[in-house]
């Protein structure tokens, strides 16, 4: 197992009491469709963690369905902001401790807030990144919401 995926699994266990069943795919899971194809699930079951910056300096992790695009204006409203944009690579790492494509929905290095695309709650199981662009793991979306402290939100375009 890749060292970053192993680190995520260890931290999830130690910090949250969660056993993470990491699945790694050599072909990568860089996009939601890539992940769904590798796993054999619907793209809507991919829980992509995307960092958004509100009003220039307020990062938030948005866990969204792979079938949806994030509505940046809606994210700004949820964070009581005016403007929102996708975070740059260095901002993602600074806010979460993880690199783009491998950001898990929790185990972040800062106390960054988390919003969760409410459509993920329509599924019995979703798949989230496990620390690298080639590693994912399955979880019940309600359990994911609880563990991450995510606020369910209408953040899909």
- Reduced to 3 states, what is the DSSP secondary structure of residue 111? coil
- pLDDT of 34 reads 82
- pLDDT of 57 reads 87
- Which residues are CB-neighbours of 12 under 8 A, at least 6 positions away? 18, 19, 20, 104, 106, 107
Q: By the 8 A CB rule, do 59 and 95 touch?
A: yes
- pLDDT of 30 reads 67
Q: For the chain, which ranges sit under pLDDT 50?
A: none
What's domain 3-153's superfamily in CATH? YbaK/aminoacyl-tRNA synthetase-associated domain (3.90.960.10)
- Which residues are CB-neighbours of 58 under 8 A, at least 6 positions away? 79, 81
Q: Where are the domains of the chain?
A: 3-153
CB atoms within 10 A of CB 1: 14
Please give the angle made by the CA atoms of 155, 137 and 144, to the nearest 5 degrees.
45
């Amino acid at each position: 197992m890749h060292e970053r995926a192993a680190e995520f699994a260890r931290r999830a266990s130690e910090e949250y009491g969660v056993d993470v069943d990491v699945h790694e795919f050599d072909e990568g899971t860089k996009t939601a469709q890539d992940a769904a194809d590798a796993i054999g699930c619907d793209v809507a079951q991919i829980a992509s963690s995307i960092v958004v910056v509100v009003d220039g300096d307020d990062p938030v992790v948005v866990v969204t369905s792979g079938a949806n695009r994030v509505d940046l204006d809606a994210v700004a409203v949820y964070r009581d902001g005016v403007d929102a944009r996708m975070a740059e690579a260095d901002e993602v790492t600074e806010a979460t401790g993880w690199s783009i494509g491998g950001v898990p929905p929790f185990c972040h290095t800062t106390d960054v807030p988390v919003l969760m695309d409410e459509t993920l709650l329509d599924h019995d199981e979703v798949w989230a990144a496990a620390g690298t662009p080639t590693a994912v793991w399955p979880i019940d979306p309600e359990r994911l919401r609880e563990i991450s402290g995510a606020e369910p939100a209408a953040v899909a375009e």
